[in-house]
Chain A
Amino acid sequence: MSWLETIKQAILAWFDDFKADFILNFIEDNRWKYLTTGLGNTLKITMLALIIGVALGVIVAIVRSSHDNIVHELRPGIGKFLLKLANGVCKVYLTVFRGTPVVVQLMIMYYIIFASSRNGVVVASLAFGINSGAYVAEIFRSGIMAIDAGQMEAGRSLGFGYVATMRHIILPQAFKNVLPALANEFITLLKETSVAGYVTVRDLTMGGNIIRSVTYSPFLPLFAVALIYLAMVMFFTYLVGKLERRLRSSER
């Protein structure tokens, strides 16, 4: 029976260690607050970046797909010139922001472009939003391009202009089609914000790291951080699944 006793002792010892570790990392000096304030900042940055990213992405997607769809039909003039110019600008934007690491973009934003601002959360939101916009744009563009050309023709034949047809007929359908890809981008964005610490923002990851550097006990703070990210991602995946089902059921 002595081996059973040994296991029992080991478990108890481990539990005591865990308890001590837990108290050290989260309870002592109210260290758990690093995680909660960090989580708050992570959510703030993600939400703001999402809004910026979707707004930017939709605009860029409309410009790019409009250019590809109708520029050859336009007669030479100021309208055609402006569309071509806007398309060029969008292409440069997509190339630059998809072609460089987001951490580098973040640091350029914080240390160069907004060097005078010390509001890291806002600057980080802007950086992640502009970066995400490039990916959202391509997601939306594929959604717009996938809509049957007959939809645009039907809208135009009723007397809607190009923009009104986009707004009432094409974009609502495109949005529904790209929702899964958009949710994926949102989840990526949420996790990407974990590098915000590079510009001194105290996000969730930074919070865990601060605790680790104070307590010299990496296990619990880092796993706690990982668990919180995982829980959030699972929760959002669940929400999007529900939304998707609701959107789809309306057509059956």
Chain B
Amino acid sequence: MQSSLLQLIIIQFKTFAREPEVIFWSLLFPILMAWGLGMAFNKENESVITIMQVKNDQYPDPSFRKFMETATEIKNINSPDGKAKERDVTIQGLGTTHYKVIDGTWEQAYVLLKRGVVNLVLEERTEGLQFHFDPKSGEAKASYLQFSSILKGKQDDLAQAMIKPLSQKGTRYIDFLIPGLIAMGLMMSTMWGISYSLIEKRSKKLLRRLVATPMSKSSFMVSQFVARFVLCAIEALVLYLFAKYFFDMTIEGNIPALITLFCAGFFAFCGIALLLASRTSNTFVGNGIINVVVMPMMLLSGIYFSYHNFPDAVIPYIQALPLTMIADGIRGVFLEGAGWAELVKPILILSTIGMVTFVSGLKVFKWY
């Protein structure tokens, strides 16, 4: 008869293979997400600026009226009284900007501002054209600067600037996204896969039944980890291959260092997962506990957008999160050609986190 460790691992794989949903959520879903986000941000999309005008025929602004002369009526627009015009303006190096100008009153303007439909409101007054916008919003500010330059007939100033579009590999959004998705997949798969399945086995009294046999407890844990590791590795590999063939991504840095980082990250999450699942037998409580740990990392660790937008004071804390360490590490190897020198620190820290949480989790682990 095969050893019990082997049997336990085989059973784990069989349960994965027999739940087709598992394959979808762990393999297909990240790819769909990468594809969707990659396409959305990679497209040569024309920028659209939607403006609300509060007309005052007593004080027409000549430059604005001139701009609107060549604008055409938009049909089927969701505006307060259905009146809106559009016009495209192309500037050398900046591409085409599509302007939509909606007619309305101040009341209507407030509604559309609140809904985020427009971020710029124009008003014709005695003293001239007035721009209303939130100066704290970068987008509104950019819309204002661009539109006011055009009205002043200074679009050439914009075009004369030395503009060189970035489309080089490694600087695209997809390049930023894929390493983040690999890191997040590792976290999600490990935390949910291991924690949840342990809690569920406890709530169904299966753990209790298992330890009433001579089964070795460490074999049981190892089987959980081994099976999950194989799944995580396949997941990461599939995502990478997709990015390689679909978005032409390459790994610039040291691959053995990358694999070691991946393993250290896996170990850290295994330990955390074990610790989180060590006491409760209620799957709802488990759900909450896992979310409390997973959600902040998902939001803060710079998976979708750089965490450098957060205040400087919190950045060191964000960088100390395991998910940030893994995502930054993978990004370093993928995009910046990082190697052992850069990765040795996160690898050591992650391994230590894994070791401490694993040992303490196992110590307080409730089998009954």
Note whether A and B form a binding pair.
Answer: no
